[in-house]
Every structure is written in C-alpha cells, then in structure tokens.
Structure 1
Amino acid sequence: MNEIIKKNGINYGIITGVVSVLITTLIYVIDIKLFTAWWIGVLSMVFYIIISCVLLSKTKRELKGIYTFKEAFTTYFISAIIGIAISVTFNIILFNFIDPAAKDTIKELTMKYTAEMLQKFGTPTSEINKAITEIEKNDQFGILEQLKGSVFGILFSSIFGLILAAIFKSKPSYQQ
C-alpha cells in the first residue's frame, strides 16, 4: 500500500475520531438535550463531508494527480474505520462506564421528542405507542447496540466512500 494513502488515511481518521469525541463531549457538557437536536446531526454530516473531501483532494495532490478509484476508496475507508472506532469506543466508555445514567436521560428525551414529532405529523396514537415501546426496549447506547451501530456506520460510510472515490479518482489519460 502506498505510504501517502496510509499516512493520510490514518491521520484523517484520527482527526475525525477526535473531533467526534470533542463534539460528543461538548454536547454532554453543554446540554444533554442536544443529543436529540436534528441540526447537530446535520452539522456533523457537513463536517464529515468536508473533512473527507479535504482528505481525498490532499491525497490526490500528493500523488501528483494520479489517483485510482481503488486508492481513493482505500484512503477514505482507512480514515472512516479509524474515525468510527475512536468515536464508538469513546461512546461505549462514556455511556456505559463513566455516566450510565446519561443514556437513560437521552432515552427519555428521545421518547418525548419522538412522540411530539409523530403527533405533529398526525400519527395515530397506537403507532406512537408502538414507536415509544420500541425505544424503551432498545438500549441505543449499550455496548452491543453501539457495536451494531458501528457496523451500519461502516456500511453507510463505504457507500459514501464509493461515491467520493468515483468523484476524486483520476480520469484516464485518454480523457484528459
């Protein structure tokens, strides 16, 4: 494997993971209700898109513009795996060992927020009750759920990475 690809993937993976930890920590310290704020998720996604584009453009530039689809995807994938691993490890430690009560508070807030949103959309009471029951049964911050979530995160990231790799790969010389 090319050293530039490996170095950039690892460095940006660490950056992404550390920023994710900082975001989670700030939300935890400032106001735990922010864990249910939709705009936090949107801002996080924008950050991850920007950092991924910076990663791939920097790597392409360091490779003198010769960047295959496989190399672009590999760079992104290394970064995504490391970032997800750091983030999930921190969340497992925070919500299962440091402050397990926080996950119960977030679950209550999520149930309240979900019920309010479903009521706004005119969802029948029976469906709202089903949704709330599902949330009650699920331990979204439990170790197993966090690990399952990381698998889905890796799958989603892989799809996103394939799209970015297609965008950032070099065009064949006959197309230039």
Structure 2
Amino acid sequence: MDKSALISKLSLKYGFILAAVSVVISLTLHFINPVMLYTNFALPFIILIIFIVLLVFVGITIRKEIGGYWTFGEAFKSFLIISLILALVAVLYNILLMTVIDPDLPSKAAAAIGDSQRAMMEKFGMASEQIDEALEKAGNMEEKLAPTFKNSITSFGVSLALYGVLSLILAVILKKKEPTTFNTFPTES
C-alpha cells in the first residue's frame, strides 16, 4: 500500500475512533445532566483541550505507523479527514440526540441558558430591564438549538472551519521531515 493510501486508511480509522469517543463523552454528560454542556462555561473548553491532546496523540501515532515522517501536506490531509469525520458524526449525533433520545432538549437547554445568562447579568449588577433587553437581543435560543436543516448545515460548517484551522496548526507542529542522507564517496589515496 502506498503512503498516501495508508495515511487515508489510518485517518479514517482514527477519525471514527475519535468520533466514538466524542459521542460517549457527550452521552455520558447528557445522562449526568442534560443541560450541563450548555450552562457550564468551562466544560466545552475542557473537552476542547482533551480533543486537542487526543488529536496530537493520533497524529503522532499515524506518523509512526507510516514510517516516522510526513510532510505538512500529508499531515494536513490526515487531520482534515479526521476533522470531516468528527464534524459529520457530531451533526448526525446532535440530530439523533435532539429528535430521538431527548426531543425536549432544545427547550430545556434554552431555558437553562436563559436562566444562566440572567444569573450572570444579575451578578454584574444589571437592572432587570437591561437583562430582559439583552436576552431579547440574543434571540430565541430554542430555535437556535433545534436540529433543523439550516442549523445542522451551519453547525457542520462552523465545526469544519474550526477543525480546519486546528488541522493546519497541528500539521505545522507535527510534520517531520525525513533526514537527508548524503552519499559519501571514498577518496582515492
């Protein structure tokens, strides 16, 4: 198998493994508290850090499995394949979660987000009228969370853009050039 095909095969394998890990984490958090992911501001950043670490580990693993070296282009291709899988699975999982597993989640999450934002604004000393105005400007959160076609495509696009930037950064960091060997010719004495 040539190097490019091997990179694609390994990227698909690890992309689906990471997607499964993502779904397991999300389901676990959902069953602990369905709205925790929407109201705990630190949790998404913690999950992001975990996934960056996992992506670095996977990148190093793939690089080792293909011989220890890869160019920026090969690394970027690998991370892009993984990113496509993660983004697609995330959208499909979200649709399944909000239509089959917990159809009331958009309304529960929207209410929890509104309460959380209201509490934060009250903590900052905002007047009740200002809070109501700010929440009204934010728009209908339930509509934004509903798994509509438009929201799903938007979510996929945003995820892909973010993963794309992350893929570029990781490809730059994890590329490893094969050392150049020079042929030395014996000198005649």
Give the deviation of 1:117 after TM superposition.
2.0
Give the deviation of 1:173 after TM superposition.
4.2
Give the deviation of 1:171 after TM superposition.
3.7
Deviations, residues 95-131 of structure 1 (Å, cap 9, x unaligned): 0244221210011001111122233344565553344
Sequence identity, in percent? Answer: 24
Residue equivalent to 1:3 = 5
Alignment of 1:88-107 (within 5 A): 88-107=91-110
Question: With structure 2 as the length reference, what TM-score do the two structures score?
Answer: 0.81
Match of 1:113 among 108, 116, 119: 116
Alignment of 1:105-144 (within 5 A): 105-123=108-126, 125=128, 128-133=131-136, 134-136=138-140, 138-143=143-148, 144=150
Query: What residue identity is the alignment partner of 1:164?
Result: L
Task: Give the length in aligned residue pairs.
Answer: 174
Higher helix share: 1
Gaps of 5+ in 1: none
Larger Rg: 2
Residue equivalent to 2:151 = 145
Question: With structure 1 as the length reference, what TM-score do the two structures score?
Answer: 0.87
RMSD of aligned C-alpha atoms?
2.2
Query: How far apart, CA to CA, are the structure 2 residues paired with 1:123 and 1:64?
Result: 59
Aligned 8 A contact 2:94 2:147 in 1 = no
Matched position secondary structure for 2:105: helix
